[in-house]
Amino acid sequence: ARLQVAAELLGLEPAALLAALTTRTVTALARGESESFSVRLDGAKTRHARDNLAKAVYSALFDWAVGFVNCKLGALAAAAERDCFIGILDIFGFESFDTNGFEQLLINFANEKLQATFNQHVFAAEQELYAAEGISWRSVRWPDNSETIGLIASKERGRAPGVLHLLDETSRLPNQTDADFNKRVHDAHGAATALRRPDPRARAAKFAVRHYAGEVTYNAAGFLDRNNGTVSADLVTLLGSSAHTLLAAAFAA
């Protein structure tokens, strides 16, 4: 029933959608000739294919919606004449659940960056302006979350690569597991105050980060698969044949 509903919403035949989610076409060269065959995916890979499909559809339709709104508002033409910008800031999206994974890390990292921007403009920049204009004021101190941001995303020379870069590095290596990635995080940042060591019994599978809003423990299970958001060529081709013109156009080659 769920497959039927999903296929109807995507404008696809249920059998075709099922095949694209549960199998993958592999092309190999043999004696100078290419040969294609179908490989069946296990349950975990099928679930990741489903999730990647959902994210790809959302991303494509979101990009279309932004372009459509800009076109209707004449934003592109106006931008050529003057600097036009409308910003929407949502800083209240910090997440901490009983089980936190890859998505929570990305959401919380985005909020760390938003908090840093907020600190810079509300505190640092204003105090610099007061000093420059000779205004009497009392210095305000605020929590500095730059170490947490560096822990997650640093790629500077001379510093250990951040968690996200360690994840990319691990994803590119053969035969790596989520446990290997988690070990790399602890090995690279064991002395960092922004990285907290979880209970020794959980350390092999988890790492904890001190965020500005509080400490969050992340379960490394599924990080490698979720970091690979690639949609298979079979699914892209199928979406390009959708009965919904908009969706088909978004995935047209």
DSSP string for the chain: -HHHHHHHHHT--HHHHHHHHHEEEEEEEETTEEEEEEEE--HHHHHHHHHHHHHHHHHHHHHHHHHHHHHHHTHHHHHHHS---------------SSB-HHHHHHHHHHHHHHHHHHIIIIIHHHHHHHHHT-----------HHHHHHHH---TTSPPPHHHHHHHHHHSTT--HHHHHHHHHHHHTT-TTEEP--TTTTTTEEEEEETTEEEEEE-TTHHHHH--PPPHHHHHHHTT-SSHHHHHHT--
Residue 146: pLDDT over 90: yes
Residue 224: pLDDT over 90: yes
Instruction: Provide the residue count of the chain.
Output: 253
Of 253 and 42, the structure prediction assigns the larger pLDDT to 42
Hey, how many other C-beta atoms are within 10 angstroms of the C-beta on 226?
A: 19
Whole-angstrom Cα distance, residue 241 to residue 230? Answer: 19
Residues 220 and 179 sit within 8 Å (Cβ to Cβ): yes
Of 159 and 181, the structure prediction assigns the larger pLDDT to 181
- Predicted confidence at residue 137, as pLDDT, reads 76
Whole-angstrom Cα distance, residue 124 to residue 139? Answer: 10
221-234: average pLDDT: 89
User: How large is the C-alpha radius of gyration of the chain?
Assistant: 23
171-185: average pLDDT: 94
- Predicted confidence at residue 127, as pLDDT, reads 79
Whole-angstrom Cα distance, residue 58 to residue 62? Answer: 6
Residue 99: pLDDT over 60: yes
* Segment among 47-56, 91-100, 137-146 with least mean pLDDT: 137-146
- Predicted confidence at residue 203, as pLDDT, reads 83
CA dihedral 171, 175, 179, 180 (to 10 degrees): -70
CA dihedral 53, 55, 61, 65 (to 10 degrees): 180
| pLDDT class of 240 with cuts at 50, 70, 90 | very high
Whole-angstrom Cα distance, residue 181 to residue 169? Answer: 9
Question: Which residue, among 196, 213, 191, has the nearest Cα to 116 in the 3D structure?
Answer: 213
Residue 253: pLDDT over 70: no
* Segment among 62-66, 119-123, 210-214, 244-248 with least mean pLDDT: 119-123
Mean pLDDT (the chain, rounded): 88
189-208: average pLDDT: 89
- Predicted confidence at residue 202, as pLDDT, reads 82
| pLDDT class of 195 with cuts at 50, 70, 90 | very high
Inter-CA distances, 128 with 7, 123, 132, 218, 249, Å: 57, 9, 6, 37, 50
231-239: average pLDDT: 92
Residue 205: pLDDT over 60: yes
pLDDT digits (tens, 9 = 90+) for 29-70: 777 777 888 899 999 889 989 999 999 999 999 999 988 888
Hunting for tokens 């204009």 — which residue is that?
133
- Predicted confidence at residue 108, as pLDDT, reads 96
Question: Which residue, among 116, 202, 197, has the nearest Cα to 153 in the 3D structure?
Answer: 116
